[in-house]
Amino acid sequence: MKAKTVLLDKAGLAGVLVASGNAEMVIQPIQELVVVAGIDVVGPLPEELQDTVTYQLAIMPNARENEPLSALINYLRTPEAIAVIKAMGMEPG
């Protein structure tokens, strides 16, 4: 495999290497692959190889604008937002 390994020369979307024909496959977070046109996302790595990242959202006690922050949190729980989250390859909590 070492002879066929292609590394990104800078931070970027590895899926572009597949789309351009410079690589046959890549491994990168799904949400960074679904935005690349011209490639097929096969799916996630097996569970034992996953490195899950969990994002937390909290409103600090001294926040000056609680209403817009609460509105954002509530929006992220809506079916519409959950559909977008899932379409981007992420799982809502």
Give pLDDT, residue 59.
93
The pair phi, psi for residue 59, each rounded to 5°, is: -105, 125
Kindly state the average pLDDT of the residues 44-71: 90
Between CA 69 and CA 14 the distance in angstroms is: 34
How much of the chain, in percent, has pLDDT values that exceed 90?
Answer: 48
Name which of 26, 47, 49, 50 is nearest 36 in CA terms.
26
Q: Is the pLDDT of residue 9 over 90?
A: no
User: What is the tens place of the pLDDT at every residue in 10-30?
Assistant: 778 889 999 999 888 998 889
Q: Using one digit for the tens of pLDDT, what is the confidence trace for 22-55?
A: 888 998 889 899 999 999 999 888 989 988 888 8
Q: What is the DSSP string of 24-86?
A: S-----HHHHTTSTT-----PPPGGG-----------TT-S-HHHHHHHHHHTTSHHHHHHHH
